[in-house]
Amino acid sequence: MQKSDNKRLRLIISTLVIFVIIPIVLYAGVVYLNDRKYYFISVVIVLLACVPLFIKFERRKPQPREILIIAVMAAISVAGRMIFVVVPGFKPVAAITIITGIYLGAEAGFLTGALSAIVSNIFFGQGPWTPFQMFMWGMIGFLAGVLGKTGVMEKKVALILFGVFAGGLFSFGMDVWGVISFSGIFSWEAYVAALGTALPFTIIYAVSNVIFLLLLAKPIGEKLKRIKIKYNILQ
């Protein structure tokens, strides 16, 4: 009973941090800091993204190998984004983040997505869009981790559907930033126009997610399973 209560409390705290506190930080960065303090906002998001992960460990300290495996997944994601730089929108970032969430947990998924954005933008260019990319990819990883606990995400149909959903979610979320950063306020008319303009890229996002998930989910997932069992990490 106590263990179940602890899990419920961790989920509540993680949800509050990711879906309430971080969006407030993003909004404050755009509206009150005029999108000029994006380095500061990015660092704050990374620190907040660590909170759910460390809560997951409860009373014990995380082992270095637990942090290392998340860093490795983020590095793979960054490398994949760089390799496919010539194809706009066609990137494995969301897929790697989803796989991390499924097999290492929602908290690890969120942190991997956030780190992937801020680290890869060292090469692609940091800007006011970085915090929003961190949040959107992180949220995709978190949702994948929540669904991963049910076991449904190990089925191909579920992977395909979630890949399409993740492509739309990322594009729709970034369009929110685009509208707010352009005018300082959110306008449904401007948002609908932005969605229409971004539709070709949204389709590419979704297709690339599905392709990379079908190619990478099984081999990477099996390796992550073995690592978790062998070293008893992120259980």
pLDDT digits (tens, 9 = 90+) for 101-119: 999 999 999 999 999 999 9
The pLDDT value given to residue 59:
59
Backbone dihedral angles phi then psi of residue 111, each to the nearest 5 degrees:
-65, -40
Confidence of residue 187 (pLDDT cuts 50, 70, 90): confident
* More confidently predicted of 79 and 3: 79
* Percentage above 90 pLDDT, the chain: 57
Q: Residue 31 above 90 pLDDT?
A: no
| Domains of the chain with CATH codes | 2-231 (1.10.1760.20)
- Determine the average pLDDT of the residues in 57-81: 85
The pLDDT value given to residue 1:
54
In the block, tokens 């992180």 appear at 138
The pLDDT value given to residue 9:
79
Q: 138, 119 in Cβ contact below 8 A?
A: no
Would you call 59 helix, strand, or coil by DSSP? Answer: coil
Confidence of residue 233 (pLDDT cuts 50, 70, 90): confident
In Å, how far are 24, 139, 146, 147, 152 from 45, measured between CA atoms?
A: 11, 12, 20, 23, 29
Q: Residue 184 above 60 pLDDT?
A: yes
Q: Residue 78 above 90 pLDDT?
A: yes
Question: What is the Cα–Cα distance from 147 to 167, expressed in whole angstroms?
Answer: 17
CB count in 10 Å sphere of residue 54:
12
Confidence of residue 186 (pLDDT cuts 50, 70, 90): confident
Backbone dihedral angles phi then psi of residue 116, each to the nearest 5 degrees:
-60, -40
pTM to 2 decimal places: 0.91
Q: What is the pLDDT of residues 158-181, one digit of tens each?
A: 999 999 999 999 999 999 888 887
Confidence of residue 121 (pLDDT cuts 50, 70, 90): very high
Confidence of residue 3 (pLDDT cuts 50, 70, 90): low
* Percentage above 70 pLDDT, the chain: 94
Q: 95, 115 in Cβ contact below 8 A?
A: no
